[in-house]
Structure 1
Amino acid sequence: MRLRLPTNVPAFAVLQDRDFRAIWYVGGLHEISRRMELFVLSWFILQTTNSPFQLGLVMVFNNVPRLLFSLFFGMVTDRFSRRRILAVAQSINTIVAVVIFWLIVNDSLASWHVFSAAFMQGLSRSLDDPARRTAMLDIVGEGRIVNALSLDQISNTVGKMSGPILAGVLLATYDFAGAYVLVMTVHLATLGMLFRVRIPSFQRVASQTEPAWRSIAAGLKHAAKNRLLLGMLFITIIMNAMAFPLQQFIPAIGRDNLQVGVVLIGLLGAAEGVGQLIGAGVMSTTRNIMHHGRIFVIGSSTVLLMALLFVWSPWYALSFLLLTASGVGQSGFATMQSSITMLSAPREMRGQMVGLMSVCIGLGWFLGPLEIGGIAALFSTQWAISVNALVGLLLLLPAVIFTPLVRNPAGQPEPATAQD
């Protein structure tokens, strides 16, 4: 049945496209299961080891695959069926969830299993990210990509909010096995939804038939010459090393500093999602955004400032509000990050550029949790996050001053048009 929505609102015009709705639903379900799984695995590590360092290792293992494989997977995305790549990625998630559930039921789950599961989830995400985001651009076109990515941010945010809440409630009620039953169910539902996804095919250009190493080298050369893209990638590393690892330490801050239980910690983990939903909702209804870099930098600064304030908050309600404000900043960061990446690349290199972006994300997440976890073990989680937030704010300045990130538009999108 055809969905009828007013097309004078950009987000509604994008939602008229059945193919976009299908891949949008898949992304939302995937994020719910991913966030649930990470929360459950992180809570297991915190409860069994009581170690901030090992808690940080969960996200290190989750992001190492991005650092190692994303550039190659981005090239694969430019050469092969994006729908099949998405199916492979989701199959990995489903199999890993079944294995972890079996280990829980048999009382055999150990820390190394958790780290292995986090690694495999990161591997699947390294496949999923470039395939799904470039597929969205294939479906909606350049003129509506910001609105499409804002809607994608909304579905991701719903997952970010509901995943920790569901996990917290199920852990408090049924323990780990009960939580993983729902994780497996959502993974299977996501895999089933992929059969409804249709992605436009396109003709390969000559560069997509050349050797893989040459294609990757060409992508790196393109990125090195694009100063706006370099500024975005530099800030991406900074944010993923010094700002976003805070998310992994929310359970420790909630338990030790705010002294609340697992359900309220789950709600606290969803606070950023509330802010992201607000920010993404505003951007999804905005037309003709040109200076993507300005929103990107403002969002980055907001996240770092809120992190600095959050770790010293003595009250749960204030902590929730600060994380909500951080979420608004994150929505600007994430939406413009993907928009800048794809609008700054020719069609045949978009997968590679998203892959390169994921490499930078993986590099940041590899360095950040290790360093923050180490400082937290020696001093405190509060001081570790505070120092990183301050240094992160200072390191934004070189990208703002020495690259055209905040001065020049990212590409020239086609005019937005309504589509049936």
Structure 2
Amino acid sequence: MEPRPTTCGPLPAVLQNRQFRLLWYVGTLAETARWMELLVISWLVLQATESPFQLGLVLVFNNLPRPFLSLFTGWIADRASRHLMLIVSQTSNMFTAVALLTLIILGAIEPWHVFVAAFIMGVSRSLEDPSRRTAILDAVGETRLVNATSLEVISNTAGKVVGPLVGGIVIDSMGFTGSYGILLGIHLCNLTLLVTRVRIPNVVQSSVSEPMWTGLGSTLKYALHSPTLVGLFYVTVVMNAMAFPVRQFIPVIGQDHLHVGATLVGLLVASEGIGQLAGAGVMAMTRNFQYLGRVLVFGSIGVLAMTLSFPWLPWYGLALVALIMGGLGQAGFSTMQSTIAMLSAPQEMRGRMMGLLSVFIGAGTPLGTLEMGAIAAVSTQWAISANALAGLALLLPLVFLSPLVKRPVTRQEAVTSL
């Protein structure tokens, strides 16, 4: 681990760490490519089939591996080289792009090819997420983890905003062949950085050879005995089921309620990311977070409160502001979610704990989207508001009852809590 200056502010101290900077560059490129690629393949399927159902299958296949594989990839992240895992993940992305580009050039692309590619992309992400996040901790150490995670949230959110915008422009100007040519270039650039420049400290290696199922069972047992982790997973499921699927339905509100066109709908979709970028930037420059759980819970409540009001606001400007404010709250949730999971686990268990967190993320999102979509068939406004209201009702008891809010999150507490 590189020496970390203590005389400068928290953000400069993190950015002076060369290995963190390289991981940050890799993460930013990966997230931009991920969101751009999702738009490109979604648009390809829509143009080929004109079927909203098959368009939805792109996201289904992309998210399907996460709840099933994340525990195993987290276990691997604790046993194998995280650097190697990132290289394998990026290599998979590159070969997937090569295969789709070849099929597009030959004019042989079919929807099922895209579904297979989306599934492989989901497997790759399940491998990458626990490896990259725990590698950041290895690079910067615990004292700078909140600041480093805030910067990672910035890169993730920037990718969420920039990727689709660039993807739409490139599709219109260069078609699907040009789009995948650019994506292949991004993947190749990322792989080159990982192979030639990135060097991750080998900090976390299990000292005892433990069977996989035993290791996964001990991780789940540890989490269930930690009130902090139980609270974290509870908030994660609630937010991924009740709040985050709303992004899928923003275009409906823009078109049918606010009566705006595609350009302004695109700005609405991006506005949440703009607020999230601002919030993550503030946290990246803040010293000495102690009550991490409070930031997580109150940020989540802020997201739900803005979500509750958003679909009923009569003016576009107010709706835009509401989504930006919700993005500020989401920055608190996103930053503290992975930070709490890593700090609340022993050093040798952090990869598996990040995998367990991904299981709860992956379980909440498809269930919430299906339920919200069923209600939206009657009223999209009520579907959004009803879910936000239910989410608030589920989270408010934590403010008064959970140690996640009442006590600071510290590694010492986590190690001795079992």
Q: CA deviation at 1:265?
A: 4.0
Q: Distance in 1 between matches of 2:103 and 2:248?
A: 23
CA contact (8 A) 1:78 1:350 kept: yes
Distance 1:396 1:192 in 2: 44
Contact 1:134/1:351 (8 A) holds in 2? yes
In structure 1, distance between residues paired with 2:310 and 2:52: 18
> How far apart are residue 42 of structure 1 and its match?
3.4
What do you get for the CA RMSD once the two structures are aligned?
A: 2.6
Structure 1 residue aligned with 2:145: 145
Aligned position for 1:409: 408
- Report Cα offsets for 1:268-291 as digits up to 9, x if no partner: 332222111110111111111010
Say whether 1:206 aligns with 2:207. yes
CA contact (8 A) 2:345 2:411 kept: no
Secondary structure of the 2:287 match is coil
Q: Using the alignment, how far apart are the partners of 2:55 and 2:313 within structure 1? A: 21
Q: Distance in 2 between matches of 1:84 and 1:180?
A: 25
Q: Which residue number corresponds to residue 347 of structure 2?
A: 347
Shift of the 375–47 alpha-carbon distance from structure 1 to 2, 3 Å rule, reads: farther
Measured in 1, the distance between the counterparts of 2:272 and 2:67 equals 25
Letter in 2 for 1:268: L
TM-superposed CA distance for 1:354, in Å, is: 0.5
Residue in 2 that maps onto 1:185: 185
Distance in structure 2 (CA, Å) of the matches to 1:400 and 1:330:
17
Q: Deviations over 1:48-69 (max 9, x none)?
A: 6666655544333222211000
Instruction: Please name the residue that 1:309 is paired with.
Output: 309
Cα distance in 2 for partners of 1:89, 1:226 equals 31
For these two proteins, the number of residue pairs brought into alignment is 410
Which stretch shifts more, 91-100 or 280-289?
A: 91-100
Deviates more, 1:160-169 or 1:83-92: 160-169
Aligned to 2:415: none
Q: Conserved in 2, the CA contact under 8 Å of 1:74 and 1:130?
A: yes
CA distance in 2, matches of 1:237, 1:38: 23
Match of 1:197 in 2: 198
The answer to whether the aligner puts 1:391 opposite 2:390 as a matched pair is: yes
Percent identity, please. 54
Match of 2:238 in 1: 238
1:255–1:100 CA distance, 2 compared to 1 (3 A) = farther
CA–CA distance in structure 1, aligned partners of residues 51 and 383 of structure 2: 14
Deviation, 1:139, is 0.9
Note the C-alpha offset of 1:254.
4.2
Question: How many Å separate the matches in 1 of 2:322 and 2:203?
Answer: 44
Equivalent pair of 2:78/2:204 in contact (CA under 8 Å): no
Residue 226 (structure 2) aligns with:
226
1:90 matched to 2:97: no
* Larger CA deviation: 295-304 vs 331-340: 295-304
* Cα contact 1:52–1:252 (8 A) shared by 2: no
The 1:311–1:52 alpha-carbon spacing in structure 2 relative to 1, beyond 3 Å, is farther
Confirm or deny: 8 A CA contact 1:345 1:353 kept in the other structure. yes
CA separation of 1:109/1:254 partners in 2, compared to 1, >3 Å: closer, same or farther?
farther
Counterpart of 2:25 in structure 1 is 25
Give the superposition deviation at 1:380. 3.6
Task: Say which SS state the counterpart of residue 410 (structure 1) adopts.
Answer: coil
Does structure 1 retain, via aligned residues, the 8 Å contact 2:103–2:109?
yes
Q: Residues 41-99 of structure 1, C-alpha deviation per residue, up to 9 Å, x if partnerless? A: 33445556666655544333222211000011101000000011001111222222233
- String of CA shifts for 1:392-420, please: whole Å, max 9, x gaps: 1111134434421111111158xxxxxxx
What's the offset of the Cα at 1:312? 3.3
Alpha-carbon contact 2:36-2:163 (below 8 Å) kept:
yes
Q: Which residue in 2 is equivalent to 1:374?
A: 374
Partners of 1:243 and 1:394 lie apart in 2 by 13
Amino acid paired to 2:169: V
Distance 1:52 1:245, change over 3 A: farther
User: Shift of residue 371 of structure 1?
Assistant: 2.0
1:75 aligns with 2:75: yes
Q: State the partner residue of 1:418.
A: none
Deviation at 1:191, TM superposition (A): 1.5
Distance 2:99 2:119 in 1: 14
Inter-partner Cα distance in structure 2 for 1:212 and 1:350:
15
Q: 1:266–1:344: structure 2 CA closer, same or farther, 3 Å change rule?
A: same
Q: What do the CA deviations read for 1:159-179 (whole angstroms, capped 9, x no partner)?
A: 122112112222333444433
Q: Cα distance 1:266–1:102, how it changes in 2: closer, same or farther (>3 A)? A: farther
1:160 matched to 2:160? The reply is yes
Partner of 1:363: 363
- The alpha carbon displacement at 1:305 in A equals 2.1
Where do 5+ consecutive residues of structure 2 fail to align?
413-418
Residues in 2 aligned to 1:300 and 1:365: alpha-carbon distance in whole angstroms: 15
SS at match of 2:289: coil
Cα distance 1:185–1:247, how it changes in 2: closer, same or farther (>3 A)?
Answer: farther
CA contact (8 A) 1:172 1:262 kept: no
CA shift at 1:9, angstroms? 1.5
Please give the per-residue CA displacement for 1:224-283, whole angstroms capped at 9, x wherever unaligned: 100111011011011111211122334444455555555544433322221111101111
Amino acid at match of 2:409: A
Instruction: State whether structure 2 residue 399 is matched by structure 1 residue 400.
Output: yes
CA contact (8 A) 2:90 2:191 kept: yes
